[in-house]
Chain A
Amino acid sequence: MSQPTEIHSLAGAFALDALSEFERAAFVRHVAECSACEFEVSELRETASRLGDLAWEAPPARLRDAVFAEVARTRQVPVGRAPVEPREVKAVTRWRRWTAAAVAAGVVALGGIATVWVVQEQRVGDVRAQADQLRRDQARIAAVLAAGDVKINSGTVPGGGNMTVAISRGLDDGVIMLDGLRSPGADNAYELWLVTAGGPTSVGVLDPGTGQGTALLDSIGSASAVAVSREKAGGSTTGTPTVVVSTVAL
């Protein structure tokens, strides 16, 4: 337990909360003295939390009331404790990581390093934007599913798979999920529609050849059903469904 390398091998167990109190305390001390470890631990913790996605379960409604009541009479710890310093440390760590990668790749000329830096920044920015988008979508989906008035309808799609729609009239928000549909063919795509008295409105086109996906409904209004159609890749060009595969009433 006293060897630095040995204690570092506990990073996984730490991230999973699988250490005894004693080992945990020792590990926390170790991380405090090792900024590279801190970075790894942050990522492993983030990873472990993703396992929580599989445990999703709607809580009883009284939990909401109990939590809000307690929150209303609970004082918060004050803002302004140590947010700046760790961020700077982290930035240095990350920079070192990139520099190390650049050197390893044989890019040692100064200009070369600068280029790698810019490219990496760009790529990280793109990935982050995508991840943000995904998280926002996920947060909206979770909000719909957690809504008190959520209504869920599901139908099987001829040829295999399911279309499920969850809506909250209160939030005026909803989500359509397609799962396990037969591939429409590499040049075709499934398109999702919201059906109102005025006709169908497209709410999303899946990637070509894909039989699963999710589309968010921004407004449900007076819609009576959702539908999925098969289209040429990229979706219907006429504004109406070409071949309706299945519909689910709301």
Chain B
Amino acid sequence: MGVTTRAGRGDPAWTGPEHVPMGPDELLRQVARGDEQAFRSLYSMIAPRVYGLARRVLRDPAQAEEVAQEALVEVWRTAARFDSAKGSATSWVLTIAHRRAVDRVRSAQAGAERERRVAAASGQTPYDDVVEEVTASLEQQQVRRCLQGLTDLQREAITLAYYSGFTYREVAEKLDTALPTIKTRMRDGLIRLRDCLGVEVSPAPAGPGSVRR
């Protein structure tokens, strides 16, 4: 990967997994067994992404906060449904959050919808106005780089849908492009992103409850 440096010489940061806190997958499995402490740890890891994503889609901070709260409580409530064979815990959580945010933005159609369309149509590529700060971790840089590797149409179709919550029909309308083209670009764009990011969903190596490695 070459992204995170690895120190030699017995530096305590690298002496072994016993110093490493549990990752989201293991935490979520513990949450499923009713472990509130595990939920608190999981919260610290994922809340900024859940809230940030809701904020991105809904734009309004108060609504984003509500949706983030609903989504995070849903994570607690339905943790037993997480299946690591279908993807990572982080993705599972973000899928819940995204779905809720999109549902909210669509149900709030009427006046707000018109504003949102205007705002989104004002020329900015959606992912560009994401605040640049120290959180520009390497994973983010990788996502940005991979987004740049898409065609303009693939990128616009994907970001309009994901970050603004438009349906593919609305995206087709906005981009003045035929419906079949848009759905194809969304699919082949995501496939290209998947390959660029090296995303792979594979069954857990040794059955349910198994730990990494």
Contact = CB atoms under 8 A, between A and B. Distances in A.
Interface of A: 9-13, 15-20, 39, 42-60, 63-64, 66-68, 70-72, 74-84, 86-87, 90-91, 94, 124-125, 127-143, 145-147, 152, 154, 164, 166, 177, 179, 192, 201-207, 210, 212-219, 235, 239
A166 B139 CA distance: 17
Given A141-B137, A146-B44, A17 B5 contact: no
> Top 8 closest A-B pairs, CB basis?
A12-B187, A12-B186, A204-B5, A57-B52, A59-B51, A218-B13, A49-B91, A18-B161
Which of A56, A63, A213: most chain B CB closer than 10 A?
A: A56
A194 to B, nearest CB: 9
A152 B134 contact: yes
Given A43-B200, A66-B69, A214-B137, A201 B11 contact: yes
Contacts of B158: 12, 16, 48, 51
For chain B, give the interface size range.
35 or more
Contacts of B45: 139, 142-143, 146
A20 B167 contact: yes
Contacts of A235: 8
A63 B68 contact: yes
A87 B76 contact: no
11 contacts: A13-B167, A15-B190, A47-B194, A48-B158, A56-B49, A74-B77, A75-B77, A76-B32, A134-B1, A143-B45, A235-B8
A173 B29 CA distance: 24
A45 B95 contact: yes
Interface of B: 1-9, 11-14, 19-21, 23-24, 32-34, 36, 39-41, 43-53, 55-56, 61, 65, 68-69, 72-73, 76-81, 83, 85-88, 90-91, 94-95, 97-99, 102, 127, 130-131, 134-141, 143-144, 158-159, 161-163, 165-169, 171, 180, 182-191, 193-194, 197-205, 207-208, 212-213
A59 B65 contact: yes
A87 B203 contact: yes
